[in-house]
Amino acid sequence: MTTIATPTRYRLTTTAFHAMAQIGVFPADARVELIDGDLIEMPAIGSRHAAMVSRLVRWFIPRLGDRAIVSPQNPIVLGNYSQPQPDICLLRPQADFYDDRLPAAADVLLLIEVADSTLAYDRDEKLLLYARHGIAEAWLVDLQGSRLIAYRGAGAAGYGERLELQVDTRLAPLAFPDLAIGLVDLGF
């Protein structure tokens, strides 16, 4: 009788991911994220994507002051198996700017993903990850569709609320109801 072996998926932990990075497994310019234990190589950032991230950073910093840390394209740790690099996170203020650890879901006041060529992946995979880890609000800036979509009401099955910003409306983050942004502020 022949025994049939079933392959087992090996899920990398954030600890193993950090160790691999420290010993130089990844090239210095690699854009690699750890998502649910899988290494995901992200495409290079194009000029429209980079410009939108810069535009958002420039919009948020003077309006927030010391109320939040604007963290562009830096990692956050979500459990033992995920370390994505969202395009922008508004983080709870911390005097050392998270020098002693990477921010976690509880530190994120608003998360923003900018999608040019990765819309389906950002919407269907990463937003679900953020919701499962309890990030209260995530925005998706769709460059191809010239739109901003806000997702709220995080839960295990995803976000319960979806709001698409219209041309003549403004949207404020839940954490900062006094800061309303419009499509014109995004260059659309």
59 part of a folded domain: yes
19 part of a folded domain: no
Q: How many domains, in total, are found in the chain?
A: 1
- Across residues 145-157, what is the average pLDDT? 96
Give the CATH number, domain containing residue 124: 3.90.1570.10
| HSE-CB of 83 using CA atoms within 13 angstroms | 20
Please tell me the chain's helix, strand, coil percentages from 3-state DSSP, rounded to the nearest 5: 25, 30, 45
Per-residue pLDDT reduced to its tens digit, 59-117: 999 999 999 999 999 999 999 999 999 999 999 999 999 999 999 999 999 999 999 98
138 part of a folded domain: yes
- If we measure between CA atoms, which residue out of 103, 106, 38 comes closest to residue 77? 103
pLDDT at 166: 87
15 part of a folded domain: no
12 part of a folded domain: no
| CA–CA gap between residue 70 and residue 90 (Å, rounded) | 5
The reported pTM is: 0.93
- If we measure between CA atoms, which residue out of 67, 70, 62 comes closest to residue 89? 70
Listed in sequence order, the residues at least 6 apart from 58 whose beta carbon sits closer than 8 Å to its beta carbon are none
Share of the chain above pLDDT 90, in %: 85
Domain that holds residue 169: 45-186
1 part of a folded domain: no
